[in-house]
Amino acid sequence: MNTSAEASPSSNLTLRQKIGQMIIIGFHGTKPNDKQIQVLSKKIEKGLVGGVIYFGYNIKSSEQVKILNTHFKTLSSPLPLMICVDQEGGRVARLNEENGFKNFPTAFDIARTHTPKQAQEIYGAMAKMTANAGFNCVFGPVADLNHDQTLPTKLQKQNPVIGGMKRSYSADPNIVAHYARAFINAHQDNNIITSLKHFPGHGLATSDTHIDLTDITATFQESLEMKPYEILMEEKNIDMVMTAHVILRNYDSFYPATLSPTIIKELLRKRGYNGVVITDDLFMGAIQKNYSFKESILQALKADVDILLFSINHAAKKGINAKNKKQAHGQLIERFIDIIESAIATGDITEQRIQKSYDRIVSLKKKRFSHKAL
DSSP assignment of 13-39: S-HHHHHHTTEEEE---SSTTSHHHHH
Residue 336 lies in a domain: yes
Q: DSSP character for 206?
A: S
Q: Is the pTM of this model over 0.85?
A: yes
Residue 187 lies in a domain: yes
**Rounded distance, CA 156 to CA 170, Å?**
15
CB 150 within 8 A of CB 215: no
Residue 10 lies in a domain: no
pLDDT in tens, 170-211: 999 999 999 999 999 999 999 999 999 999 998 877 766 676
| Domain count of the fold of the chain | 1
Domain that includes residue 144, residue range: 16-368
Residue 342 lies in a domain: yes
Q: Which residues, at least 6 apart from 211, have a Cβ–Cβ distance to it below 8 Å? A: 285, 286, 318, 319
Q: Give the model's confidence band at 105: pLDDT under 50 very low, under 70 low, under 90 confident, else very high.
A: very high
Q: DSSP character for 212?
A: S
**Res 320 pLDDT > 50:** no
Residue 5 lies in a domain: no
**Res 331 pLDDT > 60:** yes
pLDDT in tens, 23-54: 999 999 999 999 999 999 999 999 999 999 99
Residue 82 lies in a domain: yes
Residue 8 lies in a domain: no
**Rounded distance, CA 54 to CA 51, Å?**
10
CB 15 within 8 A of CB 341: yes
**Res 371 pLDDT > 60:** yes
pLDDT in tens, 122-179: 999 999 999 999 999 999 999 999 975 555 554 456 677 888 899 999 999 999 999 9
- 184 phi/psi in degrees, rounded to 5: -60, -50
Task: Calculate mean pLDDT across residues 266-279.
Answer: 96
Residue 330 lies in a domain: yes
Q: Which residues, at least 6 apart from 227, have a Cβ–Cβ distance to it below 8 Å? A: 173, 174, 176, 177
Q: What is the CATH number of the domain that holds 252?
A: 3.20.20.300
pLDDT at position 76, please?
94
Residue 161's alpha-carbon distances to 120, 211, 337, in angstroms, are: 24, 11, 32
CA Rg value for the chain: 19
DSSP secondary structure of 39-106: HHHHHHHTT--SEEEE-GGG-S-HHHHHHHHHHHHHS--SSPPEEEE-EEETTEESSSGGGTS-----
What are the residues facing 26 on neighbouring strands?
A: 53
pLDDT at position 203, please?
84
Q: Which residues, at least 6 apart from 149, have a Cβ–Cβ distance to it below 8 Å? A: 156, 171
Residue 225's alpha-carbon distances to 11, 116, 177, in angstroms, are: 40, 20, 11
pLDDT in tens, 66-98: 999 999 999 999 999 999 999 999 999 999 999
| Percent of the residues in the chain that have a pLDDT greater than 70, as a whole number | 87
**Rounded distance, CA 224 to CA 148, Å?**
11
